[in-house]
Structure 1
Amino acid sequence: MKIYLGRNGAYVSFEKVGMWWHVTLRGSSGEVADKVRCDEYRLAVEYRSAFLKIARAS
């Protein structure tokens, strides 16, 4: 699992579970703001980039 930090404690977690890639955006208090499960690495990386932009902007 990799964790990418944004501002004010928001963060994005990126991990492979079985054959799926899980990307989760969490707010500063730890609540799940958005999450996605992808079967292709390329799509998971695109979601990770989008979630990181949201985490850095908040």
Structure 2
Amino acid sequence: MPTKKPRIQALLEPEIYQKFKKLCEHDMRTESQLGGKIITEYIKQYESIHGEIKIEEQ
């Protein structure tokens, strides 16, 4: 079933992409799932240092 979640696209160097694929295999996650997890964790880390990122309601 298609999702209505927003999509992003990233361009990586081939070596970084190969390493990312290995991490996906290790964590038994798809590239999309692991990418989402990494971004979520980065935002949590950023907010713990700098405070909550304010977003406007859409």
Q: Normalising by the residue count of structure 2, what TM-score does the alignment of the two structures yield? A: 0.37
Query: Which structure shows the higher helix fraction?
Result: 2
Q: Normalising by the residue count of structure 1, what TM-score does the alignment of the two structures yield? A: 0.37
